[in-house]
Structure 1
Amino acid sequence: MDSLTGTSVPVDRVVDGPTPKHAQLREILRRIVERELPPGAPIPSERELAERYGVSRLTVRSAIGRLVDEGLLSRVRGKGTFTASKRMELQLYLMSFTADMRRRGLLPTTEVLTAARARPPAATAGALGLDGRDPAFRLHRLRRADGVPLAVERGWYHPRAVPGFLELDLAQSLYAQLAERYGIRFDRAWQTVWAESADRETARLLGIRAGSPLLVFRRVSSVRGEPVEDMTSWYRGDHYQVTMQLDRSAPDSGHLPKHGGTR
């Protein structure tokens, strides 16, 4: 029943009337996605949907775009549009991306975007205990699982803790190499989480629309009290969620991190 006219409207057709066609099509697609298609299933192309429902491709694009914004659909560049996969739980303990994806039965791959020695921003220099003039190692990577881009990482590493850092195979598990070459096994970290909209560059790397929601994690990791890594990671909001256990205990303000938790 159409809520505006009180008349019966076919649930699988787009008709002329007061309800915009893109809104009608959006609800048709929503019902199909929620009731008929499993997570990760492809939906028909814009051309097929336009022909099936007798609407323009612009109408189809508008309807799909809204469902992508809602997280019900996900676009994969060069492959098409799919029903959103079940969101993965982001782990709040010290585990590498590679180990985490393998634990989930996924194939992790890494693309190194930038690796260089450079002067870090003031917040990072403070977090790593560096003089403002000291250079550090900068690493910018794109992380994928089963070919799907999931996260962009920008990390800084203490130069005296990891000499020869740029000689490592930075497309492989970094934590495993830090342990093998330097004996570094992070035993403590301070982590801050916030939400952010994807800028154009991050959206391009992740294959999503600019403005899409991201979960952002900044983590400063230490070994025996000495900070080694300052890492900020941008995770796709349509693929991840965070669950935390809370209790009524008040935090001990005397043990808050000196470096703070903001960028």
Structure 2
Amino acid sequence: MTTSPGAADRVVEGPTPKHAQLREILRRTVESELPPGAAIPSERELAERYGVSRLTVRSAIGKLVEEGLLTRVRGKGTFTANRRMELQLYLMSFTDDMRRRGLVPTTEVLGTTTEVPPTPNRTALGLAEGERAYRLRRLRRADGVPLAVERGWYHAGRVPGLFDLDLTASLYTQLATRYGIRFDDARQTVWAESADRETARLLGIRTGGPLLVFRRVSRVRGAPVEDMTSWYRGDHYQVTMQLDRNSPDFGHLARHGGTR
């Protein structure tokens, strides 16, 4: 960032709140001078440079974080946000997807249990009432940045001993190796959601921050094996779909006002 503010980049007394003035100054600087992933000066440095309080700086930065222009990394500082990644709508593991992008994927296992799933998940997996399933919860990172929380269910009868696998590695690769399972069909539902306190804590974002949520029921030869819901950071991802007027999806989106 520039070492001293010019005439157009000063915070002055007036009808526009100082935090709003500073926010626009920072926005212009980020968009015109800084590449993705660049660190911005500390709150103290910005307060001294623009002659405002640290509370004013915190407010301005907080708004830009909410907008996805900046991102905070706990213990490291605030950085310009990387360009949003395209979420793939085909069957590919998180590990393979991140490696394809040139990023280093890591996985933290948050919990494993064997229990009777709620009715929607039991129905999706084709389980009998009272039948138990494997429940797996994981946090996925790329280059150390938390990107997604996964909470899902697996049909225990089709993947016995699932928890004996290395759950920090690519599960799809291990399912193929150990069980001969290569998913050939899936039904996926996508929606937007605000982060609850627990998910926000895991992803390092504010409670109420934007999330893209994907629920995917994956099958092999028509038999459901996986019912996985993934919460992705809305400031790091976007979804793009190619539609044409003859596509069934186009008509569905048009009826729901989604063609914008």
TM-score w.r.t. structure 2 length?
A: 0.92
Q: For 1:222 and 1:210, how far apart are their aligned partners in 2? A: 34
Q: For 2:36 and 2:129, how far apart are their aligned partners in 1? A: 48
The code of the aligned residue for 1:248 comes to: R
**Which of 213, 217, 220 is residue 216 of structure 1 equivalent to?**
213
1:168 aligns with 2:162: no
Deviation, 1:250, is 5.6
Give % identity: 80
Aligned to 1:80: 77
Aligned to 2:185: 188
Q: For 2:157 and 2:248, how far apart are their aligned partners in 1? A: 33
1:46 aligns with 2:43: yes
Per-residue CA shift, 1:94-129, capped at 9, x if unaligned? 000000000111000000000111111110000000
Q: Secondary structure at the match of 1:11?
A: helix
**Which of 125, 128, 131 is residue 125 of structure 2 equivalent to?**
128
Q: For 1:132 and 1:123, how far apart are their aligned partners in 2? A: 11
**Which of 223, 227, 230 is residue 226 of structure 1 equivalent to?**
223
Aligned to 1:97: 94
Q: For 1:15 and 1:147, how far apart are their aligned partners in 2? A: 39
Gaps of 5+ in 1: 1-8, 253-263
Q: For 2:248 and 2:242, how far apart are their aligned partners in 1? A: 14
Aligned to 2:26: 29
Q: For 1:132 and 1:245, how far apart are their aligned partners in 2? A: 40
**Which of 10, 14, 32 is residue 7 of structure 2 equivalent to?**
10
| CA 242–250 in structure 1, closer or farther in 2 if over 3 Å, else same | closer
Number of equivalences: 244
Aligned to 1:240: 237
TM-score w.r.t. structure 1 length?
A: 0.91
Contact map agreement 1:116 1:166 (CA 8 A) in 2: no
The code of the aligned residue for 2:198 comes to: E
Aligned to 1:258: none
Aligned to 2:113: 116
Deviation, 1:166, is 1.1
C-alpha RMSD of matched pairs (Å): 1.2
Aligned to 1:150: 147
Q: For 2:67 and 2:161, how far apart are their aligned partners in 1? A: 45
Gaps of 5+ in 2: 1-5, 250-260
The code of the aligned residue for 1:136 comes to: A
Q: For 2:209 and 2:81, how far apart are their aligned partners in 1? A: 14
Aligned to 1:204: 201
